[in-house]
Amino acid sequence: MEKQEPFWKFQLVPDIFVDYNEIANRIPGLKVGTQPNLGIVDQIYGDTDAFTEWLEQDKTPWERLTSYVRRLNVRSPKNVSYKILYLTRHGHGVHNEYRDKVGKGNWDDYWARLDGDGTTYWVDAQLTDTGIQQARELGKFWTTVALEQKIPLPETIYTSPLQRCLHTTKIMFSTALKDSGRRIAPMVKEGLRERLTGHTCDKRSTLTQINQLYPRYLVEDGFPEEDRLWSPFTFETTEQHVARKQQVLEDIFSRDPNEVIALTIHAYAIGAIVRACGGEEGFIVREGSTIALLVRGERPPLGRYEAMYY
């Protein structure tokens, strides 16, 4: 993939959510699960006047945060935008299960490059029963805890085109969106795929197959019928992967005016997004888990000539 200079600069806004790296350091394997109340820090934000602060004392932490983000966006220059991101790692997949069975070394060196073992197949790996249950637990979170704590449902949902993410998204959000009077219509984005290697679990299905299985999903413009990214000889470096996630964030921040965004993606993809936002990639999100971030995006202000055309 051709290297492009970043147009937007992204930063994680600190002290809004718990420190995931700190949590990971206390957990074997550095795997972080969904935190209580999505890890929000209960606080009154310092940009409020005395009257607003008095009004917000009785609000939930999430009500205060959404009000804060709204104020930030109203007061910021046009080239600055703030968004709450829910990053969800797909539920446990067939490939995860088989890797655990044969061991990481045997998986990486041999099995991951095959389609299967003759009985189990992991090309564009599906969810296991465990992964389906994990997605159901996330769905229960959005219909119970989120409702009680006034955690806003995502205004836009994006998903990797790999089957384990498409399925997780459907299970996780269908009921909550239906209860709120909305239908599920996630946007499938090619750039949200996992880091590219020769592992067949990361080779995606065709566009026709995706449309047949998920007819209500939207697909970004230019999405090709066949997988043009995966190859048995491709190995994306960490820097290349971060650059790909940078491009996805730039597209979302440029085109999507909504303030609360959900992305259903993969372990290394979450790490790449954190790095694209200037954070430390010192943790792994557990399968079927969600973390939340507040991200500030800034693009160069348009010149007088460019502004005439926007």
- pLDDT value at 306 more than 70: no
Region 110-133 average pLDDT? 97
The CATH number covering residue 26 comes to 3.40.50.1240
Would 290 be classed as within a structural domain? yes
Catalytic residue among 90, 167, 241, 266: 90
The answer to whether residues 91 and 168 touch, using CB atoms and an 8 Å cutoff, is yes
| C-alpha closest to that of 95 among 112, 114, 109 | 112
Is 194 an active-site residue? yes
304: confidence class by pLDDT, cuts 50, 70, 90: very low
pLDDT at 257: 97
Would 234 be classed as within a structural domain? yes
Strand order in the sheet with 156-159: 9-12, 289-298, 80-89, 260-265, 156-159, 187-188, 218-219
pTM: 0.93
Task: Collapse the DSSP code of 82 into the 3-class scheme (helix H, G, I; strand E, B; otherwise coil) and give the result.
Answer: strand
Residues 6+ apart with CB under 8 A from 112: 95, 99, 197, 198, 199, 200, 201
Alpha-carbon span 173 to 154, nearest angstrom: 9
Catalytic residue among 92, 167, 194, 241: 194
- pLDDT value at 174 more than 70: yes
Alpha-carbon span 166 to 210, nearest angstrom: 9
Is 167 an active-site residue? no
Would 2 be classed as within a structural domain? no
Would 307 be classed as within a structural domain? no
Give the chain's domain count. Answer: 1
**20 lies in which domain range?**
9-42+82-298
What percentage of the chain exceeds 70 in pLDDT? 93
